[in-house]
Chain A
Amino acid sequence: RKEVEQDPGPFNVPEGATVAFNCTYSNSASQSFFWYRQDCRKEPKLLMSVYSSGNEDGRFTAQLNRASQYISLLIRDSKLSDSATYLCVVNRGGSYIPTFGRGTSLIVHP
């Protein structure tokens, strides 16, 4: 099993739709979690950190489920500009080597 797994997609959704991605991780010692967004041929940029209590930023909600070892990202009211690849990142305790998932591609169409 890969250390961090994501469904590569693409998720093809209409504007205004709600879409959710999951990211599973295998190492129970993982302690910090992030979602990054990467536009085509650009660098990754932080979308949001994922806290144990969950967090919300406008249309975006991130959740952590430690028991089942996954994090999720929910996007409500999708916009055309949300089209991108979403990367999850997991940091193990005591390691300076973060693990990136391969990303989930989202395409929002009119």
Chain B
Amino acid sequence: NAGVTQTPKFQVLKTGQSMTLQCAQDMNHEYMSWYRQDPGMGLRLIHYSVGAGITDQGEVPNGYNVSRSTTEDFPLRLLSAAPSQTSVYFCASSSLRGAFQETQYFGPGTRLLVL
């Protein structure tokens, strides 16, 4: 099993550009999520999904879109990049037990710099 994979590992964007961060998991997990991690801020949830076709907002969703057309893939789209979106982005997946996530497995992260 590859677990959770993310591409790209690094990206530099100019303000106003758009891009998609890819995330895939091969563990058949229902739950997938995107976090950003900034110095001193901890991990903050951007968007999450509890199954194909179902997405919802986390704590900091503005400026980001997601879709979940398959169980395996959960891409994160930056609509118009801003310097405030410079961060490290982690995708995670887990199985669900009722209304709770089980152990979350994280991808290796994408380091994004917006100039």
Please report A residues at the B interface, Cβ cutoff 8 Å: 31-32, 34, 41-46, 49, 87, 89, 91, 93-98, 100-103
Please report B residues at the A interface, Cβ cutoff 8 Å: 31, 35, 40-45, 48, 50, 56, 58-59, 90, 99-101, 103-109
Complex: how many Å from CA A100 to CA B43?
A: 6
Contact B106 A43, beta carbon cutoff 8 Å: yes
B64–chain A nearest beta-carbon distance, Å: 15
Query: Would you mind naming 20 contact pairs between A and B with Cβ atoms under 8 Å apart?
Result: A31-B100, A41-B109, A42-B109, A43-B90, A43-B106, A43-B108, A43-B109, A44-B104, A44-B106, A46-B104, A46-B105, A94-B99, A96-B48, A96-B101, A97-B45, A97-B48, A97-B59, A100-B42, A102-B42, A103-B42
Complex: how many Å from CA A20 to CA B104?
A: 24
B104–chain A nearest beta-carbon distance, Å: 7
